[in-house]
Amino acid sequence: MATQITEAKSGNITEEMKIIAKLEGESPEKIRDRVAKGKVVIFKNIVRQNLERYTAIGEGLFTKVNVNLGASTDHYDENEELEKVEIANKFGADTIMDLTDGGDIDGMRRKVLAKAKMPVGTVPIYQLYYEMVTKRKYVIDFNEDDLFNVIEKHFKDGVDFVTVHTGVTLDLAKKAAEQKRTAGIVSRGGTILTAWEIYNEKENPLYANFDYLLELAKEYDVVLSLGDALRPGGIDDAHDELHVGELLVNARLAKKAIEKGVQVMIEGPGHMPLDQIEMDIKLEKQLTGGVPYYVLGILPTDIAAGYDHIAGAIGGALAAAYGADMLCYLTPAEHLSLPTPEQVKDGLIAFKIAAHTGDIIKLGEKARKLDTEMSKARASLNWQKMFSLTFDDERARRIYRQYKKFEAGSCTMCGDLCVYLVLPRALNKKKYANQKASTENR
């Protein structure tokens, strides 16, 4: 089966590579060469027919933002989740992950796929967990076939990438159960697999049968996102033995995937102090040889509940600047609740800003030119241009007009003391006076 990697290794430039090259301002040849080396991945399941917004992540490309959505066992509202998809479409999410873990999981996934303009990812083990609980009443009562059947179902439906927690080996699972982490294991998929491995005294089926997983992924050209089952869920746990041990395992598996022609990325933390972010990004890139890094946040503090989208955007901006390839957004509801549609929007905008802020450093002029345009528009009081360059032009217009009924002149913060009015007036008055004096002296 031909995949983006096998085509690239053969020297071929696919249509998807051409599209990405145009979007990213790169040559198709550079995209092809980076795909061949596993340094760039393109999200496109071969059975997905309605993809409108193509996305790639990796070396030399803009930092992307993923939006998580999906119903839960406590709150299942299909219309609400589809409204979140609309928000993601409207405000420029680069990918979506449907994390539905209760109710009609198949139905929700298929409707999200039908509505989303961009690539869609899932975490298949959530569905396996829910089905085991509802049908067999015991979460660890499943076998390897159960797991791979669910994964293949997601592939057949057209998902473009999946999170698979391949790196939590039986050895690491036992260590996780014994060690006294501050925050423990915060990954749902990681917790399920850790419990299964310890109870059954068997190796992680995703790790033990990685070759079979690669065969399935290659058949559909699905990107495997090697999950961070043992990521730090609090800043105290950053870069402990479990965190780094899992990264080492996933780095080896990623290299194997690329050799076999399967696109792959690594998922990262999680929570960690700001001064460890640069090291974390460089460590992942060094261990994997440049495999794209997809990070959650990163959250540099544990006490921002209600404002985790701001805390995460701070860490995300640094991560992007140092080389992270995609940021998984956080919303104000993180650690508290399933997010509302409005909270999804807040999180997405915060992380779009973080990604762009990081790209100014990582990509330089390629990203910075929009900021130059904005500065020029401000200096000329060109409000229409300013609104067009913002992440949410409707909100910017609404705020501008909250004390003013027309879009012209200064804003109401400075009013008649606007810096772009005071100096020109003085200069014009001086020029007029000089001209008048010159005329009178003739």
Give the pLDDT band of residue 299 (cuts 50, 70, 90). Answer: very high
Share of the chain above pLDDT 70, in %: 95
The pLDDT score that the predictor gives to residue 430 is 55
Q: What tens digit of pLDDT does each residue of 129-174 get?
A: 888 877 666 667 788 999 999 999 999 999 999 999 999 999 999 9
Cβ pair 84, 67 in contact under 8 A: yes
Q: Is the pLDDT confidence value at 32 over 80?
A: yes
pLDDT at residue 413 above 90? no
Residues 232-253, mean pLDDT to the nearest whole number = 97
Res. 441 pLDDT band, cuts 50 70 90: low
Average of per-residue pLDDT across 66-78 = 94
Share of the chain above pLDDT 90, in %: 86
Average pLDDT, the chain: 94
- 192-216 mean pLDDT: 96
pLDDT score at 435? 59
**pLDDT greater at residue 429 or residue 384:** 384
CA distance from start to end of the chain: 88
Predicted confidence at residue 436, as pLDDT, reads 55
User: Residue 301: is its pLDDT beyond 60?
Assistant: yes
Task: Check residue 131 and give its pLDDT.
Answer: 87
Report pLDDT for 440.
59
| Long-range Cβ contact pairs of 181-184 (< 8 A, separation 24 or more) | 181/233, 181/234, 181/236, 181/237, 181/240, 181/242, 182/234, 182/236, 182/237, 183/232, 183/233, 183/234, 183/236, 183/237, 183/271, 183/302, 184/233
Residues 333-349 have a mean pLDDT of: 97
Select the more confidently predicted residue: 436 or 28: 28
Task: Pick the range with the lowest mean pLDDT from 22-36, 106-120, 124-138, 255-269.
Answer: 124-138
Mean pLDDT of 81-95: 98
pLDDT at position 425 is 74
Res 432: pLDDT:
56
pLDDT, residue 366, reads: 93
Q: What's the confidence (pLDDT) of residue 242?
A: 96
308-332 pLDDT, tens digit each: 999 999 999 999 999 999 999 999 9
In this prediction, residue 438 carries a pLDDT of: 61
Q: Which of 119-133, 163-177, 249-263, 417-431 has the lowest mean pLDDT?
A: 417-431
Winning range, highest mean pLDDT, from 66-70, 134-138, 192-196, 400-404: 66-70
Locate tokens 């979460």: which residue? Answer: 139
pLDDT at 369: 94
Q: What is the pLDDT of residue 437?
A: 57
